Amino acid sequence: MADNIRRIWETDPDSKPRERQFKDDFVGRFRSGRLVGKQPEALNEWRVTTGDPVVAAEIARLMGGDPEEWDTDKEDNIEVLTDSSSVEIIIESSDKIDASMKLFGMSGLVHHCDGVEFLSPDEDKGEACGCPPMLQDRKDKAKAGRGPKPSIDVVFKLAEAPELGLFRFNSGSWELVKVLHTVLADVDAYEGSPVRATLSIENVSYTTKAGRDVSYNKPVIKVLSAYEAAAPLADAA
């Protein structure tokens, strides 16, 4: 009987309902900002977007906030403005953290490198990218729109609800770039085992020598320990 059901969509696969594939697909994204009109707004608590109302409801239960629809042409059309600036996550390995430098133009991605060599397209891969060697010079070019900025991807599960599946966080934070090598080393210290970590939004405020007040938010990843999944109930009995 099961085989017969599977064949219902064999001759018309485009009409097959979309399946929830929690193990491989991203079920949601963590975001530290949003657009208000055309202006970006930094947030002090996590904003989570998803296309699954079940996931949205669970995020609201765990982290506060209410699921609401937001204006987007993407699949993650439900957002939860949570009450939480920090969340415990599971990172399976350092392979789940990817970092590169990207510059987008009107036609899409126009520059993709690791700061030294191009990563794409294939015909340019391995060639010198021409980025300045000094970090501050790279930041200045990126701010002027003439150079790439960081693109850091972190893939993880929620420590309190790993059964929901994989979430993604993407950041362009230069502050995270500065410490990313330490984060990777901390994850690798557990020799490929999943780790428990916190993903947080932290505020940095100070007054410059010239008397100017500066305040900004930055994402922080802190590895806590090895992650051990809870034993099945049958084993625990």
Q: Is there a domain that residue 2 lies in?
A: no
- Supply the pLDDT for residue 58: 98
Q: Is there a domain that residue 196 lies in?
A: yes
- For residues 158 and 75, membership in a common domain is answered with yes
Cis peptide before 121 (omega within 30 of 0): yes
- For residues 90 and 136, membership in a common domain is answered with no
Ranges of the chain whose pLDDT falls below 70: 1-24, 230-237
- For residues 88 and 144, membership in a common domain is answered with no
- For residues 110 and 206, membership in a common domain is answered with no
Number of domains in the chain: 2
CA dihedral 217, 219, 222, 228 (to 10 degrees): 130
- Supply the pLDDT for residue 151: 95
- Supply the pLDDT for residue 211: 93
Q: Is there a domain that residue 8 lies in?
A: no
Residue 42: how many other CB atoms lie within 10 Å: 13
Query: 141 — phi, psi (to 5°)?
Result: -65, -40
Q: Is there a domain that residue 235 lies in?
A: no
Query: 118 — phi, psi (to 5°)?
Result: -65, 140
- For residues 167 and 78, membership in a common domain is answered with yes
In Å, the largest CA–CA distance within the chain is 76
Residues contacting residue 8 through CB under 8 Å, at least 6 positions apart:
none
Q: How far apart are CA 140 and CA 144, in angstroms?
A: 6
Last residue of a domain, one of 86, 115, 150: 150
- For residues 129 and 198, membership in a common domain is answered with no
- For residues 102 and 41, membership in a common domain is answered with no
- For residues 115 and 129, membership in a common domain is answered with yes
Q: Is there a domain that residue 76 lies in?
A: yes
- For residues 211 and 166, membership in a common domain is answered with yes
- For residues 64 and 100, membership in a common domain is answered with no
- Supply the pLDDT for residue 192: 80
- For residues 139 and 160, membership in a common domain is answered with no
- For residues 80 and 189, membership in a common domain is answered with yes
Contact 223, 197 (CB under 8 A): yes
Q: Is there a domain that residue 82 lies in?
A: yes
Last residue of a domain, one of 135, 150, 165: 150
Domain that holds residue 137: 96-150
Last residue of a domain, one of 150, 175, 193: 150
Pairing of strands 149-158, 67-69: unpaired
